[in-house]
Amino acid sequence: VREKRLTLPPSEITML
Amino acid sequence: STLVRVPKSASTLGIAIEGGANTRQPLPRIVTIQRGGSAHNCGQLKVGQIILEVNGVSLRGREHRDAARLIAEAFKTKERDHVDFLVTEFNVAL
């Protein structure tokens, strides 16, 4: 599970 | 989790979010609260909280842009003078 999480990309940040 | 009602007391909501489905942060997390925005004026939202629902609509499974659009539309609509956020301090998403 940990390895899979590390492969996910970071997210962009949106100002609302 | 906590329900926070944010009155539309300023012209902006004033939060920045990161995260969404298929990212390392599967539910949107508040990363900034801008001074003078509606969220800051409300005083109940905090940096680090995870947004689970907006006006009763779940953000689970929504990608970042979709979640951001939902929040923006909730703030923009004239149907309500507030936005309800269901938030949690914990990263429950997975």
Total residue count of chain B as it appears in this document? 94
State the DSSP code for B14.
-
Q: With CA atoms as reference, report the closest residue to A12 among B49, B63, B51.
A: B63
Cβ separation A15–B20 shorter than 8 A: no
A1-16 per-position pLDDT tens digit:
555 556 788 889 999 9
Nearest to B64 among A5, A12, A15 (CB): A12
Query: How close A11 comes to chain B (CA, Å)?
Result: 5
| DSSP H or E segment with residue B50 | strand B50-54
Torsion over CA: B39, B12, B62, B64 (sign): negative
The H-assigned helical ranges of B21-88 are 38-42, 64-76
CB atoms within 10 A of CB B56: 8
Cβ separation B23–A14 shorter than 8 A: no
| DSSP H or E segment with residue A10 | none
Q: With CA atoms as reference, report the closest residue to B68 among A11, A8, A2, A15.
A: A15
Segment 1-16 of chain A within 8 Å of chain B by CB = 1, 5, 8-16
B5-45 per-position pLDDT tens digit:
999 999 999 999 999 999 999 999 999 999 999 999 999 99
Of A8-12, B59-63, B82-86, where does mean pLDDT reach its minimum? A8-12
ipTM above 0.85, yes or no: yes
